Structure 1
């Protein structure tokens, strides 16, 4: 049987382990580190939460551990239940309880978690990203001098990023797009703060576009352990199917590519700034 692992926060009960009877001696932070080390050998962990027992119970801790893979969670439960996992006394390890009446909303992983999951299953050299367009949609730069001379309220910077995740071993690409708008610093703080905010908006746009691209991919883990990829395009304005459609999206937003074409000198300056931020790196970050 094949298991599907989406780029989403795991919420299913069969991916959740409950660990009881943890001693009160170590701190919660120490138990967190020990549990993460002990359980990560069974598969990639999404989270480990160590919590104190209820006041009516004896002193100690329990833990909630989430795996990305239900198969990994089952293997960990069978191997660790009734054994001294991180202490001399045995612990109880059970799979999460099933609540059929409760349906959890699937939350997308952020870009950092997406990259962690992709590195684990595809390898560090098994995927890359290619930025198709990174464009400022706000007109902050054009109004800097005017705004400093005559403040007219709060300013903001807006960036659009269109990119694609490339999986060469699977002959698969997944496009992603995001628009990020960040409030600019107060004008009296000067252009330095404005430039810093602009760089932050650039970075956030790339991160959100990368997460958006990964949301259309699903990892397929076969019984043999081999990996496949399923591409699931989603309906919506932000889910274009290729570079041409992403260009159409920019044009629909009334920011035509030709309208915002820059001179050769401006283009070199913009690329130099992207290299400084690491945004032109086509291999994995």
Structure 2
């Protein structure tokens, strides 16, 4: 049976991607233990999060992978006693049966980190198609952005649109200047566009190594991008009409 895993650009919330390690007693400080765990468990796959909590001189750790397959490999290694912590010995892993939160999109940085891990730095590229301040209410700053993600190895691409509006009054009350408002609104609009584009990307991982990119075409943007927004194909300033005497309807 072929091992196929679909990874979306959302915060992983399945119990199958989570490893819980209770009751670690070690002379390591909390930052040192975090660094050790991150380095150790990264060998099995890309980590989304490592959380270390100190309760009554014991450490309790949650390790979250993007891939359920990677989490399974790490869990199996721990159960075989192959993962040990200084002064604590082999770690004891426990499964959890609930996810605890709904599907939430990854940040743009996390999306790019995930794409780089599975596709390599040259496996994808991005392009800003449209990024402008739009006409709107005089008391409102409105920015619209459209971006494109391209995956040349699989010959697929997708677009994402973002729209951000900011009332001038509320921003000025917080001490922002007009330039600050424009800059922040433009940045948020561009960020929304990238999140919308990444949200359509599916990583199809076969046997843990072969990766193919597919696009979820059921995801809809706030609006559709029209390429003629950038440069009109024809610009007409004057038109001269001529009339043929034999065919008055022909122009």
- TM-score between the two structures when normalised by the length of structure 1: 0.70
Alignment CA distance shift 1:43-1:105 (3 Å) = same
Instruction: Judge conservation of contact 1:13–1:95 (CA < 8 Å) in 2.
Output: no
Whether 1:171 aligns to 2:155 is yes
Instruction: Judge conservation of contact 1:135–1:161 (CA < 8 Å) in 2.
Output: yes
Distance in 1 of aligned mates of 2:114 and 2:146: 21
Aligned pairs for 1:1-285 (under 5 A) are 1-23=3-25, 25-53=27-55, 59-81=57-79, 82-83=81-82, 85-94=84-93, 96-99=95-98, 104-139=101-136, 155-184=139-168, 185-186=171-172, 193-223=177-207, 225-238=209-222, 245-247=224-226, 257=229
Alignment CA distance shift 1:83-1:183 (3 Å) = farther
Bigger helix fraction:
1
Instruction: Judge conservation of contact 2:133–2:144 (CA < 8 Å) in 1.
Output: yes
Paired residue total: 226
Offset at residue 201 of structure 1 (A): 1.8
RMSD of aligned alpha carbons: 2.8
Distance in 1 of aligned mates of 2:109 and 2:4: 26
In our comparison, the structure showing a higher alpha carbon Rg is 2
Instruction: Judge conservation of contact 1:42–1:72 (CA < 8 Å) in 2.
Output: yes
Q: Which runs of 5+ in 2 are unaligned?
A: 231-251
Distance in 2 of aligned mates of 1:130 and 1:39: 34
Alignment CA distance shift 1:193-1:5 (3 Å) = same
Alignment CA distance shift 1:103-1:131 (3 Å) = same
Bigger strand fraction:
2
User: Which stretches of structure 1, 4 residues or longer, exceed 4 Å deviation after superposition?
Assistant: none
SS in 2 for 1:219: strand
Q: Which runs of 5+ in 1 are unaligned?
A: 144-154, 249-255, 259-285
Distance in 1 of aligned mates of 2:191 and 2:219: 21
- TM-score between the two structures when normalised by the length of structure 2: 0.79
